Structure 1
Amino acid sequence: MAGTRSRPPFLGLLPLPERQAIARALRTETVGGLVLLGAAVVALIWATSPWSTAYTAVRDFHFGIPALGLDLSVGHWTADGLLAVFFLVAGIELKRELVVGELRTPATAALPVVAAVCGMVVPAALYLTTVTADGGGRAGWAVPMATDIAFALAVLALLSTHLPAALRAFLLTLAVVDGLGAILIIAIFFTSELNLWALAGAVAGLVLFYVLQRLRVRGWWWYVPLGVAIWALMYNGGVHATVAGVAMGLILRTSCDTGEDLSPASRVAHLVHPFSAGVAVPLFALFAAGVSISGPALSQVFTSPEPLGVVIGLAVGKTVGIFAGTYLAAHFTRAQLNPDLAWADVLGLSVLAGIGFTVALLIGELAFPGTQTGEHVKAAVLVASLIAAVLAAILLRRRNTVYRRLYEAENLDADSDGIPDIYQHDTAAEDTAAHTDGRHT
């Protein structure tokens, strides 16, 4: 029995505080995903309509402060500016997972980390294999590596499935690790000519940001101007400016001092997450997803090597990589699959992870800036995401009866005290304690 308890079940019952934190994050992501979906549809209709020239004119309109190197187009502002807010939230979520979440201990981190890494390596390998066989360009190898958590959760919301909290937590954790990989790829491989003085200024700003956090200095008037300065210096330094958002998110303190109800990271996430999910990411999608979808354009997706590599990487590579990585980690690490769930659930989530929208479009723009191939790659991201969404919907709907039963058991509150009964039964409490002990071993 002791040996069994020391091996935490993968996709098992989450401790109540962690479950509540994940539920709050997922609610925002789900609503944001629906807004994102609407923005993408508007972009496609607008770019394909008779008013497509107006779309191009708005997207390419320049404004800013040229003296500071910030004379950017509207599309550029959304990609480099507004997405920095999205990556700030991603950095905060990553920090939370590293401190108190699934990535805190090797035993529980192994499975989502291995799954996410395999889910990035396999799509990139399939892309390179495809373009090499057809003589295409290798610049887009990183496009199919990213999962869009907001879009994936929007698909789940539209399906109205009763997905168990632990499966949703796995999807969120997988996306966090996946996002970290995408961030590192952008920082390392998609940088322009470096301006060392500007980068030194950005690093100095981050150090000051860290010192202010350690000294418990509070007040937005300190952090907002400093954050904008760090972002501008990072952009002028040649590193993609969204990296600044991640760095600040990782620096924010996640622990609560005496007398604090929320940590600085939680407060910032509470304030910024709605703006990120409801404004920043949808506006980016509006000006990034606007490709003309016509018969000839769609034929290019399946006949040109680069977009075909993206479709295969997202629709096939993500599924194979994540499912195989999860299977190997569950069999060769201390994590184990919850007996109430089946590998069909993991397969459904693996297919769902092939929805690679926001970051995939961003990397596509960086890999093929202002080219016709870049437009075809954007179309490929949309097509692959649609394929993944449809296939995942079919798989997950088939499991909906099981999900409904687990959901009702997880949320039963017969005594109406606001706490699910599963957390109040002695046996459940023992299992939760054992699960928690195993997570922190």
Structure 2
Amino acid sequence: MAAPSPTDHKSRKLLGRLSLPESRYIADALRAETVGGVLLLVAAIAALLWANIPAISDSYASVRSFHIGPASLGLDLSLQHWAADGLLAIFFFVAGIELKRELVAGDLRDPKAAALPVIAALCGMAAPALVYALVNVAGNGSMDGWAVPTATDIAFALAVLAVIGTSLPSALRAFLLTLAVVDDLFAILIIAVFFTSEIDFLALGGALVGLVLFWFLLRRGVRGWYVYIPLALVIWGLMYNSGVHATIAGVAMGLMLRCTRREGERTSPGEHIEHLVRPVSAGLAVPLFALFSAGVSLSDEAIAQVFTRPETLGVVLGLVVGKAVGIFGGTWLAARFTKAELNEDLAWPDVLAVASLAGIGFTVSLLIGELAFAGDATLTDEIKAAVLIGSLIAAVIACVLLKLRNRRYRELTEAEERDEDHDGIPDIYEEDKPDYHLRMAKIYEDRAAEHRRKAEKAAAAAPQTAAGSTTEADRPA
């Protein structure tokens, strides 16, 4: 497929350079996600070992099915249930803040700039669902799992990048993060709309009242964790008992935070709270969810089932093929019909590599798999195995594609980070400022003067002979 043809000078850049504040925000966010992703990877491996080593596999099932919590409040849940409904609410709270920030201060605030990641994300969710549907129609399987391969796990994807030692340029990192944010938004809508069966309107009404109170306190400028954490717990408990998935409460509270900066503020309240909560989400909540959800049997028979049963095969192909085709195709179509030109530093294979990396659908895919097949424990475990295998295949393909361009990525990353005048601002953002060039001229003049002094000193110390300098005679041939 050919790239979109060049357009006039007024055409926009596709995956162009980020502004400096946006670049720094993306770098900070991805740094935390990378650490969390490595912990997530460790937790997933630990769960698989725990569940597949015969001597200790029984204890895994016993631990994750252990119940704890006040039964009188309807919260006598298993540890696995607490991880999926409780800890993931923290993850979705952070996702809500990210989405709010993108909508009011990030790339999504500009409809033209938002068009690309939104179209790419929508295509990246529709194509896997379509692939799953086609496989299950052909194989006479269940359509209940159509949403499982639609999610992208940004933390796991970044962990893969960290393990293989590949550094993406900021434009590709921002594209991947924005994709994941939009992806999370639609995953939340899918969970809310398609996985809510019976509703307790009294509990739901109580949760909504709590959310209104949460919003009111924020607008009044009330501060103090001792106010908001107890209120958040009450809202979460009421939302859980309402029948709506409890993680929706986390998203709603995250969206209510103010993410725009006022005069004199270094960070907005939303950014400040995200900075505090993200390590808890990435470093504790999501890894614990993985520990209690990723432990599935990976026997030869179970793996064979993944590639022979239509439900599981649909998940694998949805993640590996559907995600890559959907995101790449959506990006290309957006560029083609909006007359945007691809950043000259990048190539279309770079977009394909990121699209393949987005096929790593771990956390939310596991959650949707549990919800979609809640009445069939065997099929639920097979779906989880399919998510793991599909994510692994997508990761391997992405690693190969990214490694082919790693030298170019390293050059672009070094150029983005270079700060020769040591003013704390990368040089690439100052190339149009006269003061920067004057500072660089002074730096080079000082260096030249220093080298002249060293040359004069070396010449004065060199032995003199009647025949003159022996430099030419001593120089190697």
Give SS of 1:84's match. Answer: helix
Query: Paired residue for 2:60?
Result: 55
Distance across 2 between alignment mates of 1:298 and 1:277: 29
Which whole-Å CA distance do the structure 2 matches of 1:350 and 1:233 have between them? 38
What's the counterpart of residue 300 of structure 2? 295
3-state secondary structure, aligned to 2:69:
strand
Q: Which amino acid aligns with 1:22?
A: I
1:16-95 → structure 2 map (5 Å cutoff): 16-50=20-54, 51-95=56-100
SS for the counterpart of 1:291 is: coil
SS at match of 2:123: helix
1:121 aligns with 2:160: no
TM-score (norm 1): 0.95
5+ residue gaps, structure 2, are: 1-6, 436-477
Deviation digits for residues 370-398 of structure 1, max 9, x if unmatched?
A: 52111110000000000000000000000
Conservation of the 8 A alpha-carbon contact between 2:202 and 2:242:
yes
- Could you say what the CA RMSD is over the residues aligned between the two structures, in angstroms? 1.4
State the alpha-carbon separation in 2 of the partners of residues 341 and 38 from structure 1: 32
Q: Does 1:210 align with 2:218?
A: no
What is the alpha-carbon distance in structure 2 between the residues aligned to residue 83 and residue 7 of structure 1? 41
Contact 1:107 1:334 in 2 (8 A): no
Matched, 1:423 2:429: yes
Larger radius of gyration: 2
Q: Quote how far apart the aligned CAs of 1:254 are.
A: 0.9
Whether 1:399 and 2:405 are equivalent positions in the alignment is yes
**Offset of residue 261 of structure 1:** 3.0
Whether 1:245 and 2:250 are equivalent positions in the alignment is yes
Say whether the 8 Å CA contact 2:105–2:260 is kept in structure 1. Answer: no
Contact 2:101–2:260 (Cα < 8 Å) also in 1: no
- Alpha-carbon distance in 1 for matches of 2:167, 2:191: 35
The answer to whether the 8 A contact 1:411-1:420 is kept is yes
- 5+ residue gaps, structure 1, are 430-441
Q: Which amino acid aligns with 2:421?
A: D
Amino acid at match of 1:182: A
Higher RCO (C-alpha under 8 Å, 6+ residues apart): 1
Match for residue 12 of structure 1? 16
Count matched residues: 427
Deviation at residue 281 of structure 1 after TM alignment = 0.1
> Within 1, Cα distance between the matches of 2:339 and 2:32?
32
Determine the structure 2 residue equivalent to 1:379: 385
User: Where does 1:30-429 land on structure 2 (aligned, <5 Å)?
Assistant: 30-50=34-54, 51-333=56-338, 335-369=340-374, 370-426=376-432
- Assess if the C-alpha contact under 8 Å between 1:111 and 1:335 holds in 2: no
SS of the residue 2:420 aligns to = coil
For the residues of structure 1 that align with 2:341 and 2:238, how far apart are their CA atoms? 46
**How far apart, CA to CA, are the structure 2 residues paired with 1:241 and 1:371?**
21
Runs of 4 or more consecutive aligned structure 1 residues displaced over 4 Å after TM superposition? 3-6
TM-score (norm: length of structure 2): 0.88
- SS of match in other structure, 2:76: strand
Deviations, residues 272-292 of structure 1 (Å, cap 9, x unaligned): 100100000000000110001
Deviation, structure 1 residue 6: 4.9
AA paired with 1:143?
Answer: V
Residues in 1 aligned to 2:434 and 2:105: alpha-carbon distance in whole angstroms: 21
- Percent of counterpart pairs with the same letter? 63
AA aligned opposite 2:391: S
